[in-house]
Amino acid sequence: MADGVQNAAVICCFMTPDYQISENCEKELQCAADSKIRIIPCMLGDQNNTEWKPSGWLKLVTAGLNYVKIRDHSDLNIRLKAKELIGRIKNQYLPPAEERAPAPPKFFESIREKYLRENRIKRIVNEEKSFPIEQSYINLAMIETKEQQEKEKKLKEQDKHGRPDRENDQDNRRPYQHNEILGTYEEIYGTKTSINVEEIFQKCKGANKKVLVLGRAGIGKSTFCQYVTYRWAKHDLWSEYELLVLIHLRKLTVSRYPQGKEYSPSDIMKKEYFPYDDISREERQYFNEQCKNGKVLWILDGYDEFAQNIPAQLEDSFQHVRETQHHILTSRPYPIDFSYDANMEIIGFTDDNIHKYVEQFFNQIECEKQNAPPESSKAIKFIQSNPSVWGVAHIPVNLELICTAWSNTDWSKTTMLTVSVLYDNIIEWLCRRYLTKQNIKQIDMFKPAVYKQCNAPLQFLEHLAFKAMKQNRIMLPPELLEETQQDCPLDHFQEISNFGILKSYDDKLAGASNETKKQYYFVHLSFQEHFAARHVLKLLGGSNKQEAINFINNYKYDQRLRLVFIFATGLLAQSTFQSVRKVFLTTLDGETFDLVGLQHTKLLIECIDQLIDHTVFPERTAYLKTITQWIVISAAQKPRIIQDHLLQSLQRAINLTNAEIIQNTLMKLLQSTQATTKDKISYIIVNLEIPKPIPRYLTAICAAMGDEDEDVREWACEVFGKIGKEAATIEMITALVNAMRDGNDHARMGACEAFGKMGEKAATNEVIVALVNSMHDGEKYVRLGACKALGNMGEKAATTEVIAALVNAMRDGEKYVRSGASEALGKMGEKTKTNEVISALVNAMRAEDYDVRSGVCEALVRIGEKAATNKVIAALVNAMRDGNKYVRRWACQALEKMGEKGATNEVIVALMNAMRDEYEVVRRISYGALGKMGEKAATNEVIAALVNAMRDGDKNVRGISYEALGKMGEKAATTEVIAALVNGMRDEEGWIRSVACEALGNIGEKAATNEVIAALVDVCGATLVDDEYKLHKSLSVALCSYNGLRNLDLHMIEKLTFCVKEWELMDLTSMPAAQLFKIYRETENDAWLPLIVRGSLLQGIAVTVDGNTVRIYHGGGVVLVDMFKDRLRESLVKAFENQIQELESHCMEQWKSGRSGTKATSFVDVF
DSSP-assigned states of every residue in 994-1036? HHHHHHHHHH-GGG--HHHHHHHHHHHHHSTTTTHHHHHHHHH
Give percent of the chain with pLDDT exceeding 70. 79
Rounded distance between C-alpha atoms, residue 1005 and residue 171, angstroms: 11
H or E element at residue 234: none
Residue 940 pLDDT more than 80?
no
Segment 841-863 shows an average pLDDT of 77
> Looking at residues 1023-1044, what average pLDDT do you find?
61
Per-chain mean pLDDT for the chain: 78
> Residue 269's pLDDT band (boundaries 50, 70, 90)?
very high
Q: What is the 3-state secondary structure (H, E, C) of 606-665?
A: HHHCCCCCCCCCCCHHHHHHHHHHHHHHHHCCCCHHHHHHHHHHHHHCCCHHHCHHHHHH
* Mean pLDDT confidence for 23-30: 85
Mean per-residue pLDDT, 239-264: 89
Residue 723 has pLDDT above 90, yes or no: no
> Stretch 190-217: mean pLDDT, rounded?
72
Contact indicator for 519, 509 with CB cutoff of 8 Å? no
Higher pLDDT, 206 or 678: 678
**Cα separation of the two ends of the chain:** 74
pLDDT at 147: 37
Residue 70 has pLDDT above 50, yes or no: yes
Q: Is 64 left (phi over 0), alpha (psi -120 to 50) or beta?
A: left
Least confident of 168-172, 642-646, 1047-1051, 1091-1095: 168-172
Which of 711, 701, 712, 665 lies closest to 1147, judged by CA?
A: 665
Give pTM, 2 decimals: 0.56
Q: In the prediction, which pLDDT does 461 show?
A: 95
For the segment 1040-1057, the average pLDDT, to the nearest whole number, is 79
pLDDT band with cut points at 50, 70 and 90 for residue 468: very high
Residue 335 CB contacts under 8 Å (≥ 6 apart), including other chains: 155, 156, 157, 158, 159, 173, 175, 1116
Question: Does the pLDDT value for residue 180 go beyond 80?
Answer: no
Helix (H) or strand (E) holding 432: helix 419-437
User: Is 298 strand, coil or helix?
Assistant: strand
pLDDT of residue 732: 65
pLDDT at 299 over 90: yes
Q: Residue 54: its pLDDT value, please? A: 86
Nearest 5°: phi and psi at 320? Answer: -60, -45
Report which of residues 114 and 1161 the model is more confident about.
Answer: 114
pLDDT reported for residue 95: 42
In 303-411, beta strands by DSSP E: 326-331, 342-346
CA distance 223 to 122: 10
Q: Does the pLDDT of residue 835 top 80, yes or no? A: no
Q: Are 44 and 82 in contact (CB under 8 A)?
A: no
Can you tell me the mean pLDDT for 235-241? 83
Residue 661 CA to residue 664 CA, distance in Å, equals 5
Q: What's the rounded Cα separation, in Å, for the pair 66 and 98?
A: 9
Is 186 a residue whose pLDDT tops 50?
no
Geometric angle at alpha carbon 680, from 677 and 683, rounded to 5°: 145
pLDDT in tens, 980-992: 787 887 777 767 7
Looking at residue 80, its pLDDT comes to: 73
Mean pLDDT of 654-668: 89
Does the pLDDT value for residue 4 go beyond 80? no
Report the alpha-carbon distance of residue 796 to residue 774 in Å, rounded. Answer: 18
User: Where is average pLDDT lowest: 224-238, 411-425, 580-594?
Assistant: 411-425
Contact 565, 599 (CB under 8 A): no
3-state helix, strand and coil shares in percent for the chain, rounded to the nearest 5: 60, 5, 35
Instruction: Look at residue 108 and tell me whether its pLDDT is greater than 60.
Output: yes
Instruction: Check residue 557 and give its pLDDT.
Output: 92
Checking if the pLDDT of 244 tops 90, the result is yes
Report how far Cα 539 is from the mean position of its chain's Cα atoms: 35
**Mode of pairing for the β-strands spanning 296-301 and 326-331:** parallel
Element spanning 371, H or E: none
User: In 3D, which of 846, 915, 928 has the Cα closest to residue 887?
Assistant: 846
- The answer for residues whose C-beta is within 8 angstroms of residue 667's C-beta and 6 or more apart is 696, 697, 700
Chain mean position to CA 494: 39
**What CA–CA distances, in Å, run from 640 to 249, 634, 987, 1044, 1065?**
40, 8, 29, 26, 6
Rounded (5°) CA angle 586-591-597: 95
Q: Which amino acid is at 1026?
A: D
Give the confidence band of 140 by pLDDT, cuts at 50, 70, 90. Answer: low
Residue among 808, 811, 798 at smallest CA distance from 838 = 798
3-state secondary structure of 1139: helix
What single DSSP character describes residue 867?
A: G
Distance, in Å, from the CA atom of 694 to the CA atom of 700, rounded to the nearest integer, reads 10
Over the Cα atoms of the chain, what is R_g?
A: 32
* CA distance to 107, 243, 909, 1152, per residue, from 113 (Å): 10, 12, 51, 74
In whole angstroms, what is the distance from residue 531 CA to residue 485 CA? 16
Residue whose C-alpha is closest to residue 753's, from 766, 739, 765? 739
Degrees (nearest 5) of the Cα angle 694, 697, 703? Answer: 145
- pLDDT tens digits, 532-577: 999 999 999 999 999 999 999 999 998 888 889 999 999 998 888 9
pLDDT at 304 over 50: yes
Give residue 669's identity as a one-letter amino acid code: L
- Residue percentage of the chain with pLDDT more than 90: 17
- Whether residue 1166 is predicted with pLDDT greater than 80 in this model: the reply is no
Q: How many CA atoms lie within 13 A of 1012 on its CB side?
A: 31
Query: Closest by alpha carbon to 851, among 886, 821, 875, 881?
Result: 886
* Residue of higher predicted confidence among 554 and 354: 554
Query: If you count them, how many residues does the chain have?
Result: 1167
Torsion of CA 1025, 1029, 1034, 1036, to 10 degrees: 80
* 3-state SS, residue 372: coil
Q: Identity (one letter) of the amino acid at 429?
A: W
Determine the distance from the C-alpha atom of residue 1006 to the mean position of all C-alpha atoms in its chain, rounded to a whole number. Answer: 25
Q: Which of these ranges, 266-275, 398-407, 510-519, has the smallest mean pLDDT?
A: 510-519
Decide if pLDDT at 7 tops 90: no
Please give the Cα distance from 92 to 38 (Å, whole number). 8
Beta bridge partners of 121: 131
Mean pLDDT, range 831-847, rounded to an integer: 69
Query: By three-state DSSP, how is residue 1047 classified?
Result: coil
Which domains, from first to last, does the chain contain? 2-90 (no CATH), 106-144+191-346 (3.40.50.300), 351-452 (no CATH), 454-592 (no CATH)
Residues whose CB falls within 8 Å of the CB of residue 56, separated by 6 or more in sequence, listed in order: 20, 262, 316
Phi, psi angles (nearest 5°) of residue 342:
-110, 110
Per-range mean pLDDT, top range of 300-314, 490-504, 592-606, 730-744: 592-606
What's residue 426's pLDDT?
80
Phi, psi of 486 (to 5 degrees): -65, -35
- Whether residue 111 is predicted with pLDDT greater than 70 in this model: the reply is yes
Tens digits of residue pLDDT in 751-805: 888 888 788 888 888 989 999 999 899 898 899 989 888 888 877 787 878 888 8
Better-predicted residue by pLDDT, 254 or 924: 254
Q: Sort residue 489 into left (φ over 0), alpha (ψ -120 to 50) or beta.
A: beta
pLDDT at 1117: 82
pLDDT tens-digit readout, 325-339: 999 999 876 657 777
Candidates 503, 679, 654, 563; CA nearest to 1064 is 679
Per-residue pLDDT at 402: 81
Name the pLDDT band for 600 (thresholds 50, 70, 90). very high
Model confidence at 145, in pLDDT bands (50, 70, 90)? Answer: very low
pLDDT for 185 beyond 50: no
Examine the pLDDT at 628 and tell me if it is beyond 70: yes
- The reported pLDDT for the residue numbered 127 is 63
C-alpha distances in Å from residue 735, one per residue of 752, 755, 759: 12, 11, 16
- Please say whether the beta carbons of 578 and 616 come within 8 A: no
Lowest mean pLDDT among 86-95, 334-343, 909-918, 1105-1114: 86-95
Report the distance separating Cα 135 and Cα 126, nearest Å.
Answer: 18
Which pLDDT belongs to residue 383?
Answer: 76
pLDDT tens for each residue of 442-456: 888 898 999 999 999
pLDDT at position 143, please?
Answer: 46
Confidence check: pLDDT of 209 > 50:
yes
H or E segment at 30?
Answer: helix 23-34
Residue 1106 pairs in a beta bridge with 1109
The most confident of the ranges 36-40, 344-348, 775-779 is: 775-779
pLDDT at 1007: 54
Q: For position 343, what pLDDT does the model report?
A: 80
